[in-house]
Amino acid sequence: MSPHATSNEYDVSADKQRLDVATIHGYLTKSYWSPGVPRAIVERAIEGSLCFGVFLQGRQVGFARVVTDKATFAYLADVFILEPHRGKGLSKRLMQFVFAHPDLQELRRFMLATNDAHGLYEQFGFTELSNPAHFMELHRPHVYKAL
């Protein structure tokens, strides 16, 4: 798989060097899942993850991050397309690119959490947890307020 995929004027890439951390942080700090996240936390998360960007003429318009051991497990996080670029099939293209990545093949479990994009992820085989009682979490939604 090529680390880049271009069609129309949009480009999807797994090259971390192309990421615009200011754009990513700007979006995430206002998102429902990471309000107020400090930039240093975003930088650490990017450093420790497989990351994917969507670009228009070199400017970042979308992002996705996968936390993975590259063998058995992955967690999809921080997926977004900036508002002016929505409705063009970019989230679907981004997910196709993510799921084609060689480090994400033959994983036993791939997870994510979403409030509002179930339809997108169902197209890629995601379902509700088959047995939610098996899963536990330690959730600290206000951790960034202490930083």
Q: What are the tokens at 101?
A: 């990545």
Residues 6 or more apart whose CB falls under 8 angstroms from that of 57 comprise 9
What are the Cα distances from residue 35, in Å, to 3, 12, 29, 56, 139? 30, 26, 5, 26, 14
| Residue 49 belongs to domain with CATH number | 3.40.630.30
Report CA-CA distances (Å) from 108 to 13, 70, 136.
25, 10, 18
pTM of the predicted model over 0.75: yes
21-28 and 39-47 helices cross at what angle (nearest 10)?
120
Q: How many domains does the structure of the chain reveal?
A: 1
The residue among 64, 82, 76 whose CA lies nearest residue 13 is: 64
Residues in CB range of 144: below 8 A, 6 or more apart:
34, 35, 36, 37, 38, 41
In tens, the pLDDT along 14-46 reads 999 999 999 999 999 999 999 999 999 999 999
- Residues 104-143 pLDDT 10s: 999 999 999 999 999 999 999 999 999 999 999 998 888 8
pLDDT of residue 4: 56
At 129 the pLDDT is 92
Phi first, then psi: what are they for 33, rounded to 5°? -95, -15
For residue 18, the enclosing domain spans 4-146
